[in-house]
Amino acid sequence: MTTPETTRAKIVAAAADLFTRCGVRAVGINEIWRAAEVAKSTLYQHFRSKDELVAAVLRQRNDEWCSRLRTLATAAKTPQDRLLAIFDLLGEEFAEPSYRGSDLMNVAAEYPDADHPVRLAIRDHKREILRYLAELAAAAGETAPDTVAATVLTLADGAACVRVGLGDPTAAGLAREAASRLLAQR
């Protein structure tokens, strides 16, 4: 039996796949409802607009990514390794030949208005990561956990740019090593 939740999840999954492969702006609503195998009216029962659907996809991606990060951090042996787990997660992603960059950052490039709801969802994602990294930095005994979190996130985002721009799958390991050195100097 199909429930509203499963229908919504089906729409989000179809949209996420299309957005990843083609970009958000290149995908029309008609393609989404067809790929989700639902009626157009059903799509609009769940999402009032494409932007609302894009934000739902981004929130889902955020939840999945942050869950993976928490799992890796929890499994790490030392407080510093928990903080550096973000690079381990990126290393897994960078190893995929099809890696094209963070879905969230790729979508951000398609929405130039900083106050657009889609950009706000992306900003929420980055803030959630910063909060978590600051918690991990504090647990590792860092005296300026917010600064450490921002530094680690900057290195992680830079590694993603290097992976996409140069095709270098070792960028996460290099960024992890740089973060580790910086932390050792504090």
Domain coordinates in residue numbering, the chain = 1-48, 51-185
Q: Within 13 Å of residue 140, how many CA atoms lie on the same side as its CB?
A: 27
> Buried (b) or exposed (e) across 162-182, using 16+ Cβ within 10 A?
bbbeeeebebbbebbebbeee
Q: What is the pLDDT of residue 97?
A: 92
Q: What is the pLDDT of residue 136?
A: 98
Tokens of residue 150, six digits = 């921002």
Reference 82, options 128, 140, 125, 127; nearest CA is: 140
Q: What is the pLDDT of residue 21?
A: 87
Cα 7 to Cα 139: distance, rounded to the nearest angstrom: 41
Cα 181 to Cα 130: distance, rounded to the nearest angstrom: 20
Cα 177 to Cα 174: distance, rounded to the nearest angstrom: 5
Q: What percentage of the chain carries pLDDT values higher than 70?
A: 99
pLDDT band at 2 (very low <50, low <70, confident <90, very high): confident
Cα 107 to Cα 54: distance, rounded to the nearest angstrom: 9
Cα 45 to Cα 180: distance, rounded to the nearest angstrom: 49
Reference 118, options 182, 176, 55; nearest CA is: 55
Cα 133 to Cα 93: distance, rounded to the nearest angstrom: 19
Reference 58, options 94, 19, 7; nearest CA is: 19
Cα 55 to Cα 123: distance, rounded to the nearest angstrom: 11
Q: What is the pLDDT of residue 105?
A: 86
The alpha carbon dihedral of 174, 21, 122, 132 has a sign of: negative
Tell whether the model's pLDDT for residue 132 goes beyond 80. yes
Tokens of residue 116, six digits = 């657009």
73-105 pLDDT per residue, tens = 999 999 999 999 999 999 999 999 989 888 888
Q: What is the pLDDT of residue 103?
A: 83
Indicate if 51-185 has the same CATH topology as 1-48: no
Q: What percentage of the chain carries pLDDT values higher than 90?
A: 82
**CATH 1.10.1670.10 for the 1-48 domain, yes or no:** no
Q: CA-based diameter of the chain, in Å?
A: 58
Residue type at 181 in one-letter notation: R
Mean pLDDT, the chain, whole residue set = 94
Query: pTM of the full predicted structure?
Result: 0.88
Cα 82 to Cα 180: distance, rounded to the nearest angstrom: 11
- Which CATH architecture describes the domain 51-185? Orthogonal Bundle (1.10)
